[in-house]
Structure 1
Amino acid sequence: MRFRLIHLYHACFTSRKLIHRFLQQDPTLDHLYKWTPTDMQASLFISKDQADRLYSNLYNSKILEKVQNDLEKYHVWTISDEDYPSSLRCIPDPPLVLYGLGQRDLLTYQPSLSVVGTRNPSKEAKFKMLSILGPLIKQEWLFVSGMALGIDGFAHRLAHYYQGKTIAVLGSGLNHVYPKQHEALFEKLITNQLVISEYPPDIPPKKYHFPERNRIISGLSFGTIVIEAKEKSGSLITVDQALEQGREVYAVPGNPLLSQTQGCHKMIQDGAKLVQNTYDLIEDWNQIQEKWGLNLMNNH
């Protein structure tokens, strides 16, 4: 089942809906290599061209070789694996396959907090992060972010510098580091931390990948904190994902005259929890552990 799912994912990863349809018809994928294009067309409700292309991909030796190479070179999790994170399994549209480099065990670590924000932070941002997030590193919290410029990158660097824990979720395959300015950071993270992606390693970044990967950033954590964000910031997509997943949402206030804080202030007006200091987060985590259950309890 595991190998067949990864193979199917490579063959048609651009359509998770199609893969889900396949799994509905054949949950164990026992018949994956027995279906003809005609069977696929009838059972999956796809066109003849789609069926022919899928069938061709499944019997493409180069794709099969890539699957085998990926299993040797990367950590690979499927939704059917025991060590697939339970926090992701229950979200809408969970990733079916994840690829990773680095410390494998970090993927299921708690407490983890998603840290997001603008790519163009104010001069106050680093101080806010150091004062609020710095003590959490000593408490052995893990930070999840997207390795983007600005707030994301600083969250990863903060955790790495102070020998904490962090996970970077990419909007590209692991062979395509994006942005290029973070190639050195990527090398550090795959050595001592964890970098993951739902995209097969050879897939370059696409514009739609970034809002898509945000559901993984929020899904891995019990809560998402926005450090700074403009009122129409892309970071607020992660907030929407967190709310849809039933996660906690936090916002850090700031100078009301700065455009980088307007999104946070709007979030607070709309009901996000205001975070003024580290204690606000620790107190909240202590209160919600029972709600999350033993499988997401602090595991250190």
Structure 2
Amino acid sequence: MLNTIKDAPLVLYALGDISLLSYAPAISVIGTRNPSSEAAQKMEHVVKPLVKDQWLIVSGMAKGIDSLAHKIALSYKSKTIAVLGGGFMHVYPKQNMALFHQIVKHGLVLSEYAPDVRPVKYHFPERNRIISGLGFGTLVIEATEKSGTLITVDQALDQGREVYAVPGSPALAQTKGCHQMIQDGAKLAHEAKDIQEDWITIQNLITE
């Protein structure tokens, strides 16, 4: 799938089960590093059913939504891929070291950076094209109006991927980015079925 995206990585370093690179269905789950108190409930409602239906979850192992997405997948012994913004010898954030080892053991960790390369700020927007590129679509759980999450969304759209956004309370800063995406044409993800039905429709079109 990455061969079809703009600026495809020339090399990928991998730890874990590389067969997951050809696994389907897969969806990228992303969002703010500072989720609201509603975020866990949203993920239980939308992401958990996908995981229980054996969808592969792709994310970036960052604080907040990314970490929650990986943990939901691991808790149900499902598939997950983490794409890092640095080499494997410099896991970031450091508090996710245990999560990193869990994903290596039960899923797959990827990076386009050599193991000894430290993460720097511009690596994270760069790695986002890989996160969006590995999935059938990108699901945004929460995002502020000026969130870095929007970079991934732009890349997903540029790659021809589906984009879904979960709505929330209009009083929360963490939902304003999602509401803006929906106004701009992203699909409103009210429940997992909204995503599952799109996947089935696309598969039926391919087989016809």
- Which residue number in structure 2 is paired with residue 227 of structure 1? 141
- Whole-angstrom distance in 2 between the partners of 1:149 and 1:276: 24
Residue 290 of structure 1: how far off its partner (Å): 4.8
Q: Pairwise mapping of residues 56-205 of structure 1 onto structure 2 (< 5 A)?
A: 87-205=1-119
- Whole-angstrom distance in 2 between the partners of 1:116 and 1:162: 19
Residue 248 of structure 1: how far off its partner (Å): 0.3
Dislocated runs of 4+, deviation >6 Å: none
Q: Which runs of 5+ in 1 are unaligned?
A: 1-86, 295-300
In terms of fraction of residues, the more helix-rich structure is 1
Residue 288 of structure 1: how far off its partner (Å): 1.5
Residue 129 of structure 1: how far off its partner (Å): 0.3
Which residue type is aligned with residue 142 of structure 1?
A: L
- Whole-angstrom distance in 2 between the partners of 1:290 and 1:239: 25
Q: Which has the larger radius of gyration?
A: 1
Q: Identical aligned pairs, as a percentage?
A: 64
Which residue type is aligned with residue 203 of structure 1?
A: V
- Whole-angstrom distance in 1 between the partners of 2:106 and 2:14: 13
Instruction: Say which SS state the counterpart of residue 120 (structure 1) adopts.
Output: coil
Instruction: Say which SS state the counterpart of residue 224 (structure 1) adopts.
Output: strand
Residue 158 of structure 1: how far off its partner (Å): 0.5
Residue 235 of structure 1: how far off its partner (Å): 0.4
1:290–1:200 distance in 2 versus 1, CA, 3 Å? farther
> Matched residue pairs, number?
207
- Whole-angstrom distance in 2 between the partners of 1:284 and 1:175: 39
Is 1:281 aligned with 2:195? Answer: yes
- Which residue number in structure 2 is paired with residue 247 of structure 1? 161
- Whole-angstrom distance in 2 between the partners of 1:285 and 1:175: 36
- Which residue number in structure 2 is paired with residue 215 of structure 1? 129
- Whole-angstrom distance in 2 between the partners of 1:105 and 1:202: 25
Residue 289 of structure 1: how far off its partner (Å): 2.2
